[in-house]
Chain A
Amino acid sequence: MLEFLLALLTAGTVGVLLIPLLRTRLTATSRLDNDLAIYRDQLAEVERERAAGSLSGPDAEAARTEIERRILTAADKDSTPAPKPAAALHRFLPPVLCLLVPAFALGLYLQIGQPGVPSAPFIPQPKAPTGAPPGTPRDAGPSLDQQIASARERLKQAPDDPETLSALGELLTQQAQGVVPQPAVDAFQRALKKQPGDPRALFYLGLHEAQAGDSKAALTRWLDLEARSPEGAPWLPMLRAEIDRVAKQAKIDPLSINPDRKPPSVAATRPPMATSSPMAGMPQPTEEEREAMAKMSPQERQQAIRGMVDRLDEKMRASPDDRDGWLRLANARRVLGEPQKAAEAYAKADALGPLESKQLADWAEAEIRQIQPGTPPSPQAVSVLKRLEVADPDNALALFYLGAASFAQGDKSDAARRWKKLLALLPPDAPIRAMLEEKIKQAE
């Protein structure tokens, strides 16, 4: 109905425009005809006036000649040939436009305007090729979907392998952009049944509880995990950051859940300016900078410190032969919680002169902090850890992670040997004993 009314309106408008345009063309009289009529009138007038005596004979004759002369000129002018081609365009363009515009509108309406046309996202599209999209580098490794499929395949062979279950849960969470979906929750719960205390499963189950609106349960689980984790465990920084985030969001004080909670390590929470000991290697601010910093908010202060460290970084790149400078930079990066940059600076310093065991331990820590939870230590980490072990055979960090690296490579007896040595070194009430014993059992 509406469409019909609109069509009627359009037709009416076009009609109103077209009719005068066409009519002028049909009734177009030549100019000469008009002129001749006027001159004829004028001649008759001259004749009348002469008869009435108001015009003398010679005057009337002069006027008559003048009018006749004009008639001749007019006739001359009119003898110009038929309309020029441009005139054809002028004559046809308006009516053609009048018809074309509505016709175009009608076409557009039928193509994309009418209500029956499906929305663009729902138009059935030819199926995209299933392989990698063009432009994806070949060496990007298996896609997430492939990794999930292969994890599921492995689970078919060993349905209760906690490592694979946790890995699958983590992949499913990645696929859901950080939301722990129900199938991942199931996987983590099965992993936990097989391997109680598995930090990865506990972490993600807590994350699920936080996402499901049960912050209290999440915090309880995480604080328990935090208490049982060895100091320096690679997942601790992330775990603490999450505890802070959820506690702040839900306005729950972690201490109300676990009153025995030790304050997290200094580097993780407080701005490093507040303490002196870990700052020993930091580039020291000038008096003015120190004063300005006292007035800043913690974030601004953190940023100012980062700015100073970045300046030191630039200076070191300009004069890379300063071993002490690299060590200072590495320490600053480590304290700021930038393990990757710290490790890089340690490597630079080490190239200029081998590091001592204390510095090796810091370097190893920076390497370990880069390890993704649940994956074995990287080759660089292993080489640093090996040197650390040589320098300090009883170093717990080296024993634990070199054991993990051996275990990942399938050398279970070596893993068990290192872990047993570590177990013997630990005090009898160390919280990680249970987890270590579990790991040794797996290795044997």
Chain B
Amino acid sequence: MKSNRFLYVLPLLMLAILAGFFGWSLVSGRDPASIGSALVGRPAPTLKAPALRPGEAALTDALLQSGKPVLVNFFASWCTPCLAEQPLLERLAKKDGITIIGVAWKNKPEEARAWLERLGDPFVAVGYDLDGKMAVDWGLSGVPETFLIDARGIVRLHFRAPILEKDVTDRILPLLRAGGS
């Protein structure tokens, strides 16, 4: 009979465990959306994509080893957060003089081109990855994602979300000023 009574308590116990977990998640400040990145601190993956703007050279690893830190930004014309991020990239390129390499991800090249024409084009070089094969090596989970790669070709930051003002002032610019060169 004793084991029977225990069976009745079991669902309550499960509920208590679940509630405890949810409560902890709420107050511990853990960000459940953050999946981290395995790339930070490692050499950047291979960059190899055909050029988006006609008549330009294709993207290659040489772009990452120019001796200057660069941002690599994956975007798509169908992606609304990318739209919101675009003025910020523009400003980083124009005002702060940062080299930004763009990759249109799973995006028809002609649509990506029209999109850049409409919004402004902050990229020094821009390619496209129509089937998303190259992005697999970069551990891409979607767009927009942005990587900061230092002068030695090591990934230093990986943003899995649109860049915000605080990312620029608190993380990107300090890093570039401190040891980016």
A residues whose Cβ falls under 8 Å from a Cβ of B: 119, 121-122, 172, 175-177, 179-183, 185, 208, 211-215, 250
Number of A-B contacts (CB under 8 A): 52
Q: Please determine whether A179 and B119 come into contact, CB atoms closer than 8 angstroms.
A: yes
CB A180 to nearest CB in B, in angstroms, measures 7
Q: Please determine whether B88 and A122 come into contact, CB atoms closer than 8 angstroms.
A: no
Q: Please determine whether B91 and A212 come into contact, CB atoms closer than 8 angstroms.
A: yes
Q: Which A residue's beta carbon lies closest to that of B89?
A: A212
Some 25 contacts from A to B, beta carbons below 8 A apart, are A119-B131, A121-B106, A121-B108, A122-B130, A172-B118, A176-B118, A176-B119, A177-B83, A179-B86, A179-B119, A181-B118, A181-B119, A182-B87, A182-B119, A185-B120, A208-B87, A211-B84, A212-B87, A212-B91, A213-B87, A213-B91, A213-B163, A213-B164, A214-B165, A215-B165
Q: Please determine whether A181 and B91 come into contact, CB atoms closer than 8 angstroms.
A: no
Q: How far is the CA of A122 from the CA of B165 in the complex (A)?
A: 34
Q: How far is the CA of A212 from the CA of B118 in the complex (A)?
A: 16
Mask, B158-176, CB within 8 Å of A = 1, is 0000011100110000000
Q: Please determine whether B119 and A213 come into contact, CB atoms closer than 8 angstroms.
A: no
Q: Which residues of B contact A213 (CB under 8 A)?
A: 87-88, 91, 163-165, 168-169
Q: Please determine whether A175 and B118 come into contact, CB atoms closer than 8 angstroms.
A: yes
Interface size of B in residues (CB-CB distance below 8 Å): 21
Q: Which residues of chain B from 87 to 120 have a CB within 8 Å of any chain A CB? A: 87-88, 90-91, 106, 108, 118-120
Mask, B15-39, CB within 8 Å of A = 1, is 0000000000000000000000000
Q: How far is the CA of A177 from the CA of B77 in the complex (A)?
A: 13
Interface of A is mostly: helix
CB B175 to nearest CB in A, in angstroms, measures 16
Given contacts A119-B131, A176-B118, A213-B169, 9 further A-B contacts (CB under 8 A): A121-B108, A122-B130, A177-B80, A179-B83, A179-B119, A181-B119, A185-B120, A212-B87, A213-B87
Q: Please determine whether B84 and A179 come into contact, CB atoms closer than 8 angstroms.
A: yes
CB B1 to nearest CB in A, in angstroms, measures 50
B residues whose Cβ falls under 8 Å from a Cβ of A: 80, 83-84, 86-88, 90-91, 106, 108, 118-121, 130-131, 163-165, 168-169
Query: Given contacts A122-B130, A176-B118, A176-B119, is CB(A214)–CB(B108) below 8 Å?
Result: no
CB A147 to nearest CB in B, in angstroms, measures 15
Q: How far is the CA of A179 from the CA of B118 in the complex (A)?
A: 11
Q: Which A residue's beta carbon lies closest to that of B120?
A: A182
Q: How far is the CA of A179 from the CA of B79 in the complex (A)?
A: 13
Q: Please determine whether B86 and A181 come into contact, CB atoms closer than 8 angstroms.
A: yes
Q: Which residues of A contact B169 (CB under 8 A)?
A: 213
Q: How far is the CA of A227 from the CA of B126 in the complex (A)?
A: 43
CB A71 to nearest CB in B, in angstroms, measures 63
Q: Which residues of A contact B90 (CB under 8 A)?
A: 182, 212
Q: How far is the CA of A391 from the CA of B79 in the complex (A)?
A: 54
CB B86 to nearest CB in A, in angstroms, measures 6
Q: Which residues of A contact B118 (CB under 8 A)?
A: 172, 175-176, 181, 183
The 10 A-B pairs at the shortest CB distance, nearest first, are namely A182-B120, A213-B165, A212-B91, A211-B87, A212-B87, A181-B119, A213-B88, A213-B168, A179-B83, A212-B88
Q: Which residues of A contact B131 (CB under 8 A)?
A: 119
